[in-house]
Chain A
Amino acid sequence: MTGRLIDVLSVVLLLVALLAFAGGIYSLGIAKDVQALYLLIIGALALRSATDLLRPAGGVR
């Protein structure tokens, strides 16, 4: 059950990353550079979290 919740979390994080990257690029287009940088950082962290949930350190790769 917990494993399924983590699967859902990784999918949600993937979608958060997708939306954050899209928002970051959109913000660059409307000249909101700080907001763009913030959203791109959020996207990178969310995507890293999503993949780290599948790749435990020292575990199965």
Chain B
Amino acid sequence: MSIAPSPELRSLRANMLLPGVYAWFSTVAYPAFATSSLLARTFAVLSACALVAGAWFLRSRPVVGRAFGVYAFIGFALATWVSVGSGLQLLGASPVRPAVGALGWLLFAFGWGYLRQRGNVPEQDPRAIPGPPLVPRAELSPLTSLVFALSLLGSLGILALAWRVERPAQALLAHAVAAAAVVWLMSASARVSTSLGEKKTLPSSRRRLNAAARALSGLILAFAVGSVWILLR
């Protein structure tokens, strides 16, 4: 017995599918089908299939839906761009097409996000457990905003620097690396900046240092290798 999707589910699917299809047509399908690379076309089709599968599994299996609709869709899109090779220059033939493509990917990101509905009060949800208001366990340090603002400005700078890379293949790599680095940086800066006022919940200093020993050793080793490299040049 098949059950027709509710209007709410249809709306949710449309919010995720339409921007994705728009981004796919403008930046993935166009270079893939404008060139004769069979591999690129295959990846482009797989990318579209992943997007549709993501929207299909959205409600019944959210984790699978997200894996298809976000990770597989973007992964196959990246594989398409790599397969297209020099054909990717078609995207940069006019300034309008990259701008339209960027807008499409922005809308795609918004489509997969979740926002609280207007007028919806979480405490009025029938599943909410009533009780006294929860008091914050710690106050944020005055440095929190400063550290987070510095990270935000630096992240914007990293994204801007990626646009200075002119070589086509390296430019794509620079944008991918910059986007990944910025996501990681913002996530880490949120943790670091909020932890500045969080003394009670953090373990002892020795345990914190021990936990970071491996990464810190790698960093020191990398600095040592870099110093030797500079000396030998």
Contacts and interface: CB of A to CB of B under 8 A. Distances in A.
Interface of A: 2-3, 5-7, 10-11, 13-15, 17-19, 21-22, 24-26, 28-29, 31, 33, 38, 40-43, 45-57, 59-60
Given A18-B154, A56-B210, A49 B215 contact: yes
Nearest to B150: A15
- For the complex of A and B, the 7 pairs showing the least CB-CB separation, nearest first, are A56-B211, A52-B212, A49-B215, A2-B205, A18-B154, A48-B215, A29-B164
Contact of B199 (A3, A15, A31, A45): A3
A49 B192 contact: no
A26 B178 CA distance: 10
A60 B211 CA distance: 11
Interface of B, secondary structure class, is: helix
Interface of A, secondary structure class, is: helix
Contacts of B208: 3, 6, 53-54, 56
Given A11-B143, A50-B192, 11 more contacts: A11-B193, A14-B147, A14-B185, A18-B185, A21-B181, A22-B157, A28-B170, A42-B219, A42-B223, A54-B202, A55-B211
A48 B212 CA distance: 8
Contacts, number: 128
A31 B150 CA distance: 27
Nearest to B211: A56
B27 to A, nearest CB: 21
Contacts of A31: 167, 170
B155 A18 contact: yes
B189 interface: yes
B100 interface: no
Interface string B157-172: 1100110111100100
B185 A11 contact: no
B12 to A, nearest CB: 31
A41 B170 CA distance: 17
B191 A54 contact: yes
B154 A22 contact: yes
B222 A45 contact: yes
B185 A7 contact: no
B195 interface: yes
B203 interface: yes
A10 B192 contact: yes
B80 interface: no
B218 interface: yes
Contacts of A47: 184-185, 188
A14 B189 contact: yes
6 contacts: A17-B188, A25-B158, A45-B219, A50-B188, A50-B192, A57-B210
